[in-house]
Amino acid sequence: MNRAFQILLVCGSLLIFASCATQSEFTCLYDHYFPKRTEYVQGIHRRGYDRWMFGNPPPKLDSTRYNYLYQAFHGDAASFHSFLHHPDRDVAGEPGESWHYDCLLLLIRLGDSRFSELLARETTEARMAVGYAIDPQVDWTLHQFPKTRAMYSYRYVRKPT
């Protein structure tokens, strides 16, 4: 690598870091993993999360995953446990896929320390399901969640292109 390119790379990295430092860590990660202006599935989930997670709580009429997700998002440990064991976790198709995105949302909302603390209380099966859900979604070259990643053994390996 030539010297000018190295300097440019370092300056670019510092600018990215500085932009995140001016926002909360959650907001920076939320914008990265669930961008507002995209038509891909992450953008669709973002629009839903913006409506559901930041407003009034859903009615407690049933035990839907969304109710557990909302309560866990706002720090309730019992709801975190219920969310992780919701039947949608093991459903093929959209419900299971959404559960995977919801896991990532909880990780970035609760942060590595709190998320891993709650995850440590769970069964091996639940920890492995979470690993399977979040490991492919996290850009490990940019973001590290070492305490959470230590809770499971699954590692997603990208296929060479």
Say if 161 falls within a structural domain: no
Tell me the pTM. 0.82
Cα 124 to Cα 4, 119, 128, 130, 154, distances in angstroms: 48, 9, 6, 10, 11
Q: What is the per-residue DSSP string for 75-94?
A: T-HHHHHHHHT-GGGG-SSH
Tell me whether residue 128 is in a domain: yes
Count of the separate structural domains present in the chain? 1
- pLDDT for residue 69: 95
Q: Is residue 12 part of a domain?
A: no
Does some domain include residue 61? yes
| Domain with 49 in it | 23-149
Structural domain contains residue 1: no
Asked if residue 158 belongs to a domain, the reply is no
CB-based contacts of 83: which residues, under 8 Å, 6+ apart? 65, 68, 69, 72, 102, 106
Q: What is the pLDDT along the chain (161 residues), one digit of tens a residue?
A: 555 444 434 434 433 333 344 458 999 999 999 999 888 999 899 999 999 898 888 776 566 899 999 999 999 999 999 999 999 999 999 999 999 999 999 999 999 999 999 999 999 999 999 999 999 999 999 999 999 999 999 999 988 87
